[in-house]
Structure 1
């Protein structure tokens, strides 16, 4: 069913592109780019929106673009330390010459967003957007995606012992935050559990974009909380030769990193290749890994936190006068330990049983992508964007040298965007989106049954300028199906710790009392409206309102089993608790409904700038894991090694707290702020903070809500030398759910210094960066393993990177 639908969608995408054609016009535009004082801006990039061409201004600020496809031309201008601007022209047959384009200086880093079909920068969007790119991305990149983005405003990490982490956006993560690679689902298993690594690599990315708040119009109901889009050049849009590479060594875990990428080509062919290798040992900590260490606890390291990864990507494009068509293949391999999974990490040096008890994950992914953008000079359709992906993902957990559990996800995705020619100044179009996922878990920790999830959606988006106002509207409707066979309803022998075992025999583990099939159908829809008001030069005000629905994920519905990676026993919403017994839920399965309001005030010109966000999100039928207060057997033994009276929490008769996916009406609201001050030419001060409040209607708080956070950074940049020092304060989080423990606050001090060597066509940058320089013990409240894996201690990394 899924393969047939995928092939039909591919055929529709290719036919749509082949039926449309246009004539290349001879119009051209040339002119000069200056600042507000009339001085030329050299190195500015002038892009023709909707066409595959751009120009770079020379020392005099001059540029020229020709062979325009359309008479209604839009130029997008971007330059370092300037706010981006768009200029619209009606180009006569002979073209335009000597046009003057003026940019405003900006102390806020302004970067274009690739995640939207509308050409816009982070300061031009109705919804809050953060973009990490360039040197900032290279300095912050970490072994996991969540740890790479943890310093972005409104973004936290669900830290998992340094080996796996996902970004948390405004208190939301898991199936509500979509992780994409060049606009298409990453196709891994990271949405199922925090112990599953995200299959995306930051070291070879050109930028990472975070869309805060619902982005369902572009990506579907899986983005009800936001989107993280990892962008690279695996399918090049030009064939100019350029390359980047980096080498790094870090002290806290003895990590070695090598990464590089190359874009080149000949004639109408663009080629791309990248690769990386990363290897690290167990990381050091200032104290004990356990929050409450026992007599056998080992101080100074977190066991099973070592990791190794490698991968490469090959891509190529055929470059046309009106766009490009390209394909790519990527291979990723990653092995990493499961902290807290091998007897709490108590294997001491010389322990003969350490090897057989070691538990680690072995991840492989093969990913194929096709991207195409075609622009046309006549007819109703102006641009056709096609995106296709096929991903084969496998994740095995190795215990004592044998495979314990294997997770597989084979996914297919296709998206076709038909953008029409401006009609009465409205720009936009339709989006046809299809996604299919065949997920399977096999083994003793297969806490969710095999399932197939299929989504087909139609979206509509439009925008128009009304003087200083930009108005954006859109809607999307989906059809989501979840089908599963061999769904199990076990008798788990759940009990409280009051001595009452309810008559269950705990010596025999779970017995399955029913096996059945499940088929669920949902029709979620989303509507959104937003505006950006440039009420005076250098300022704007953004407002976005949306109503979005989300069908529950298969794991939220069907889970029933021990999830050792989170030290819990998970039960899906398809079941309910009745007198300490789990039975089938006979009530209809409801969809989440989110009503979101975002207000953003920006100042983006001059020596000072700021971005202030306020948001309110009311979600009905919110799915979350509720601690039932009951315990169930893990039914699991890592190698069967007997440590006497101390089973370290993971012997066969160990018990796990039972968490039930249930629904409640909740509200999440908060503030995000960022302030920048260019004190003088070399010094820049940045202050930022975020606050999230997540409450259940009728009383109570949602679990693992990020705490209040403030950060201050002083940066120095003059000629070839750059340096910065940053202090981040995480406050105590005591607004916790029932049976959840509060987490103490902590302060992290980071710093870096880099020096750039200009060697003609090549630039080399040597750097040193330190993290947690005060060696403070810090536990992340949003982590499932906060009581087993604190953050790494003092760390110093040295590296060198180059480009040409």
Structure 2
């Protein structure tokens, strides 16, 4: 009896009667909006309004549907339609803000409809800001900075968090590279062929797992076609600062019901120009003498030595496109070589570069279901084979290999008492190894299996979003080799093979944990054109294999890295050694509160965000103030064939309680039809709870951008001022303030064909990035100009 009642309730909730939905889309003045898109949320059913703004959706088969309506330069709106309501009138207001649907969220939302702050960079804005790295492409987005480890290996920093806390994904799947392991490792995701890039600020663990405790950068492209329509774009560009040449293109088409995609890019750059000395060192000549600061220009012709790069890659995809959705497969190849600046022994510059190759397979499907309870099924599968070699003076020092297999299945249900949501099953397995005489971390495997539930419902003008996720994470390393007392026998035996095993200890590590995340958020449209978003997230993270097992010299980063499973012990004779940590491994736990106030109608719009994030057991790479001979670390089995006489700074992963808080503001004013003014600012304060500042935190920043668009002409002038950063960790140095001024102008030769000129750092500012490990070795590039031609069809 109970089972029968449940079936009746579910049938009533989902509905089965035919309901024809029709109506008209108008603006605030009552004029029709031709081409406005009207779609049924939770399905692939959509249509476009005609010249009179009229639309009809005759194939809807539910008693109750939720419509989502949007058009360029207008706000988005939703409307619940019930059986018997008759024709509906949908009104959209004009907006000066860029409102874009977010693909990387399981539920339907735009950047103005999410309880958590979301940035979406796409279209002309993405092309205008496109750079050689993902971090540099996004560095002017509010709340986002770049780690800047040279011109190619810069990763995004979201609200002061980076590395294993910020997940980089391609179409919702882990990029599968080694960029989360070290700051010198480039992100494999390529921005030149992307359709849009989405930035989820704050914890996004509900959707992507514990690796997204600090946020997500999702690169969206069309490598798996979702349609058989024909469209594409291409670009040719040359930049003066490094003689940087770029050729890229992508295109989609269809043959019958088959969608086809092909894209590719080629980039080549020399060492880049710098406006002053490359390196600034602070040292003590002798005891009792004053500290001196000297500039050493390790460069020729005012160029930063060892900063060149070259890369190429392509993606090919095919899909079966149906009325109920699509199923598609893609293959991608990336081949990249890039130099890593900042390496020197005495007065000689060491040639260190990385050779990266990645093969990537993706299978994506999005299908509507004819089921009384379930409405749609989304499947994502990816396999990535990644290899990254760090080469020093022509010899491979370390090779990183990472094979990642990932699968995510999202099963959506019909509305139940107007609650709409999905069940998510997520699996990911990563097999990571570092091989070579300077391998600083042992081979390890990380497996994750997770179950999540996400729900949302409109209560009049209030949207409620709820979610929870539980994971099972297992990290294993069978060959964790540590020489715990190297200093006691280094002079006597100097690591000869006869005595090495006497002091070497090998551990088998098996760490299991169950991170749990939960989130609650509301978006309140408290008056027309305004809304207030509030979200709270509790998120947990298992520290990564690199954070746990690192022990040895990392030639790319120029650090001697020590994992959290070890602790530093100071000896009575003034020496030091490492021992196993006495405390148990703890999960990193974040409690994050976000508050957003948005105005999105009319000629003036703004977004104001404030956040507070308390993180217990925050794992970070701390400078010990000590140095260690780079050849002292055990090489995990390889013979030492080279003389490594340089001393590297010792950095060790520590777990301390921390709090991060700050704000992000964006103000946009459409002064007149051709003129738009934007003002932005962001600030992060990051402290340890028991006293002290976290290292490498970006400073307060102010930005301004003036845009002009009329006829075939577009122009933009922008400025970013970075304040002095003097809230620093013990062994950090203050970073001076600086201002960067950029400009660009373009002219449309004809429909789809454009020529443009971009200028960066027009004042030739001598600037260093506080968040970079290379702050004192690699300044930002000098003044540059880029000339390009782009086309679309």
SS, match of residue 41 in structure 1: coil
Q: CA shift at 1:344, angstroms?
A: 8.2
- Larger mean Cα displacement after TM superposition, 32-41 or 765-774: 32-41
Which one of 405, 413, 417 corresponds to residue 406 of structure 2? 413
Give per-residue Cα distances to partners, 1:462-481, cap 9 Å, x unaligned. Answer: 11111111111111111100
What does residue 39 of structure 1 align with? Answer: 31
What does residue 709 of structure 1 align with? Answer: 701
What does residue 137 of structure 2 align with? Answer: 148
What does residue 653 of structure 2 align with? Answer: 661
CA distance in structure 2 between the partners assigned to 1:71 and 1:796 by the alignment? 58
Tell me if the contact between 1:50 and 1:383 (Cα under 8 Å) persists in the aligned partners.
Answer: yes
Q: Indicate yes or no: 2:240 matched with 1:244.
A: no
Give per-residue Cα distances to partners, 1:656-681, cap 9 Å, x unaligned. Answer: 11111111110000011000011111
SS, match of residue 491 in structure 2: coil
Q: Indicate yes or no: 2:550 matched with 1:548.
A: no
Q: CA shift at 1:359, angstroms?
A: 2.3
- Larger mean Cα displacement after TM superposition, 34-43 or 785-794: 34-43
Tell me if the contact between 1:70 and 1:377 (Cα under 8 Å) persists in the aligned partners.
Answer: no
Which one of 457, 479, 483 corresponds to residue 476 of structure 2? 483
Give per-residue Cα distances to partners, 1:520-561, cap 9 Å, x unaligned. Answer: 111110111000000000000000011111100000000001
Q: Indicate yes or no: 2:666 matched with 1:674.
A: yes
Q: CA shift at 1:503, angstroms?
A: 7.6
What does residue 355 of structure 2 align with? Answer: 362
SS, match of residue 566 in structure 1: coil
Which one of 395, 399, 407 corresponds to residue 392 of structure 2? 399
What does residue 165 of structure 1 align with? Answer: 154
Q: CA shift at 1:370, angstroms?
A: 0.9
Q: How many residues align?
A: 749
Q: CA shift at 1:595, angstroms?
A: 0.7
Q: CA shift at 1:563, angstroms?
A: 1.4
1:745-760 correspondence to structure 2 within 5 Å: 745-759=737-751
CA distance in structure 2 between the partners assigned to 1:29 and 1:623 by the alignment? 53
Tell me if the contact between 1:344 and 1:788 (Cα under 8 Å) persists in the aligned partners.
Answer: no
Tell me if the contact between 1:413 and 1:434 (Cα under 8 Å) persists in the aligned partners.
Answer: yes
SS, match of residue 238 in structure 1: coil
Supply the RMSD in Å over aligned alpha carbons: 2.2
Tell me if the contact between 2:541 and 2:588 (Cα under 8 Å) persists in the aligned partners.
Answer: yes
Q: Indicate yes or no: 2:713 matched with 1:724.
A: no
What does residue 10 of structure 2 align with? Answer: none
CA distance in structure 1 between the partners assigned to 2:20 and 2:470 by the alignment? 41
Q: Indicate yes or no: 2:577 matched with 1:581.
A: yes
Q: Indicate yes or no: 2:453 matched with 1:451.
A: no
Tell me if the contact between 1:509 and 1:633 (Cα under 8 Å) persists in the aligned partners.
Answer: no
1:38-117 correspondence to structure 2 within 5 Å: 38-90=30-82, 99-117=88-106
CA distance in structure 1 between the partners assigned to 2:142 and 2:479 by the alignment? 43
Q: CA shift at 1:52, angstroms?
A: 2.5
Q: CA shift at 1:396, angstroms?
A: 1.0
Which one of 775, 778, 789 corresponds to residue 789 of structure 1? 778
SS, match of residue 120 in structure 1: coil
Q: CA shift at 1:493, angstroms?
A: 4.9
- Larger mean Cα displacement after TM superposition, 105-114 or 318-327: 318-327
What does residue 647 of structure 1 align with? Answer: none
What does residue 442 of structure 1 align with? Answer: 435
Q: CA shift at 1:718, angstroms?
A: 1.5
What does residue 684 of structure 2 align with? Answer: 692
SS, match of residue 716 in structure 2: strand
Tell me if the contact between 1:51 and 1:69 (Cα under 8 Å) persists in the aligned partners.
Answer: no
- Larger mean Cα displacement after TM superposition, 320-329 or 178-187: 320-329
- Larger mean Cα displacement after TM superposition, 529-538 or 374-383: 374-383
Tell me if the contact between 1:303 and 1:345 (Cα under 8 Å) persists in the aligned partners.
Answer: no
What does residue 638 of structure 2 align with? Answer: none
CA distance in structure 2 between the partners assigned to 1:166 and 1:201 by the alignment? 12
Give per-residue Cα distances to partners, 1:430-468, cap 9 Å, x unaligned. Answer: 111110000010012211110000000111111111111
Tell me if the contact between 2:724 and 2:734 (Cα under 8 Å) persists in the aligned partners.
Answer: yes
Tell me if the contact between 2:242 and 2:271 (Cα under 8 Å) persists in the aligned partners.
Answer: yes
Which one of 608, 611, 614 corresponds to residue 610 of structure 2? 614
Q: CA shift at 1:342, angstroms?
A: 5.5
CA distance in structure 1 between the partners assigned to 2:72 and 2:747 by the alignment? 19
CA distance in structure 2 between the partners assigned to 1:616 and 1:743 by the alignment? 25
Tell me if the contact between 1:727 and 1:750 (Cα under 8 Å) persists in the aligned partners.
Answer: yes
- Structure 2: give runs of 5+ residues left out of the alignment: 1-13, 281-293, 571-575, 634-641
| Residues 420/721 of structure 1: CA separation in 2 closer, same or farther (3 Å cut) | same
- Structure 1: give runs of 5+ residues left out of the alignment: 1-21, 348-356, 495-501, 638-649
CA distance in structure 2 between the partners assigned to 1:26 and 1:48 by the alignment? 14
Tell me if the contact between 1:315 and 1:327 (Cα under 8 Å) persists in the aligned partners.
Answer: yes
Q: Indicate yes or no: 2:597 matched with 1:601.
A: yes
Q: CA shift at 1:516, angstroms?
A: 1.6
Tell me if the contact between 2:15 and 2:63 (Cα under 8 Å) persists in the aligned partners.
Answer: no
What does residue 137 of structure 1 align with? Answer: 126
What does residue 423 of structure 1 align with? Answer: 416
SS, match of residue 331 in structure 2: strand
- Larger mean Cα displacement after TM superposition, 287-296 or 693-702: 287-296
Q: Indicate yes or no: 2:368 matched with 1:375.
A: yes
| Residues 265/492 of structure 1: CA separation in 2 closer, same or farther (3 Å cut) | farther
SS, match of residue 152 in structure 1: coil
Q: CA shift at 1:27, angstroms?
A: 5.4
Tell me if the contact between 2:239 and 2:784 (Cα under 8 Å) persists in the aligned partners.
Answer: yes
CA distance in structure 2 between the partners assigned to 1:616 and 1:344 by the alignment? 44
SS, match of residue 275 in structure 2: strand
| Residues 91/231 of structure 1: CA separation in 2 closer, same or farther (3 Å cut) | farther
Q: CA shift at 1:88, angstroms?
A: 2.5
Give per-residue Cα distances to partners, 1:754-797, cap 9 Å, x unaligned. Answer: 122334xxx11111111100001110000011111111110111
Q: CA shift at 1:41, angstroms?
A: 1.9
Q: CA shift at 1:508, angstroms?
A: 3.0
Q: CA shift at 1:42, angstroms?
A: 2.8
What does residue 354 of structure 1 align with? Answer: none
What does residue 252 of structure 2 align with? Answer: 263
Tell me if the contact between 2:278 and 2:298 (Cα under 8 Å) persists in the aligned partners.
Answer: no
CA distance in structure 2 between the partners assigned to 1:697 and 1:482 by the alignment? 29
CA distance in structure 1 between the partners assigned to 2:159 and 2:407 by the alignment? 28
